[in-house]
Amino acid sequence: MRTAHRTTPPTVTGTGAAGTPHGHGTAPDEAGLRAHFEKVIADDRKIEPRDWMPDAYRRTLVRQIAQHAHSEIVGMQPEANWLTRAPSLARKTILLAKVQDEAGHGLYLYAAAETLGVHRADLLDALHEGRQRYLSFINYPTLTWADTGALAWLTDGAAIVNQVPLCRSSYGPYARAMVRVCKEESFHHRQGFDSLWALTHGTPAQRQMAQEAVDRWWYPALAMFGPPHHASVHSEQSMAWRIKRFTNDELRQRFVDICVPQAELLGLTPPDADLRWNDDRGHYDFTPPDFDELTRVIKGDGPCNRQRLAHRRRAHDEGAWVREAAAAHAAKHRTPHHGPHPAATTAPATADEATADEAAA
Q: Residue 14's beta-bridge partner residues?
A: 22
Over range 189-208, report the average pLDDT: 96
Q: How big is the chain, counted in residues? A: 361
In this predicted structure, what is the pLDDT of residue 233? 85
Pick from 78, 225, 55, 68: nearest CA to 140: 78
pLDDT band at 30 (very low <50, low <70, confident <90, very high): confident
Q: Residue 285's beta-bridge partner residues?
A: 276
Q: Residue 171's beta-bridge partner residues?
A: 47
Whole-number Å distance between alpha carbons of 29 and 46 = 21
What is the 3-class SS of the chain, one letter each residue?
A: CCCCCCCCCCCCCEECCCCCEECCCCCCCHHHHHHHHHHHHHCCCCECCCCCCCHHHHHHHHHHHHHHHHHHHHCCHHHHCCHHHCCCHHHHHHHHHHHHHHHHHHHHHHHHHHCCCCCHHHHHHHHHCCCCCCCHHHHCCCCCHHHHHHHHHHHHHHHHHHHHHHHHCCEHHHHHHHHHHHHHHHHHHHHHHHHHHHHHCCCHHHHHHHHHHHHHHHHHHHHCCCCCHHHCCCHHHHHHCCCCCCCHHHHHHHHHHHHHHHHHHHCCCCCCCCCEEECCCCEEECCCCCHHHHHHHHCCCCCCHHHHHHHHHHHHHHCHHHHHHHHHHHHHHHCCCCCCCHHHHCCCCCHHHHHHHHHHC
In this predicted structure, what is the pLDDT of residue 306? 94
Over range 247-276, report the average pLDDT: 97
* Torsion sign across C-alpha atoms 104, 335, 332, 8: negative
In this predicted structure, what is the pLDDT of residue 357? 35
In this predicted structure, what is the pLDDT of residue 338? 57
pLDDT at 27 over 60: no
pLDDT at 3 over 50: no
In this predicted structure, what is the pLDDT of residue 333? 87
Over range 341-346, report the average pLDDT: 43
Please, are residues 223 and 294 in contact by the beta-carbon 8 Å criterion? yes
Whole-number Å distance between alpha carbons of 346 and 298 = 54
**Which amino acid is residue 317, in one-letter code?**
D
pLDDT band at 18 (very low <50, low <70, confident <90, very high): very low
pLDDT at 22 over 70: no
pLDDT at 102 over 70: yes
CB atoms within 10 A of CB 230: 10
Percent of the chain with pLDDT strictly greater than 70? 85
Q: Residue 284's beta-bridge partner residues?
A: 277
Averaged pLDDT of the chain: 87
Using CB atoms within 10 Å of the CB of residue 323, give its burial: 0 to 12 exposed, 13 to 18 middle, 19+ buried. middle
Gap between the terminal Cα atoms of the chain? 28
pLDDT at 126 over 80: yes
Instruction: Summarize pLDDT for 284-327 with one digit per residue, the tens.
Output: 999 999 999 999 998 889 999 999 999 999 999 999 999 899 99
In this predicted structure, what is the pLDDT of residue 16? 43
Please, are residues 24 and 52 in contact by the beta-carbon 8 Å criterion? no
Instruction: Summarize pLDDT for 215-225 with one digit per residue, the tens.
Output: 999 999 999 99
In this predicted structure, what is the pLDDT of residue 232? 87
Helices 120-128 and 89-114 sit at what angle, rounded to 10 degrees?
120
In this predicted structure, what is the pLDDT of residue 29? 86
pLDDT at 41 over 70: yes
Of residues 49 and 7, the one with the higher pLDDT is 49
pLDDT at 150 over 60: yes
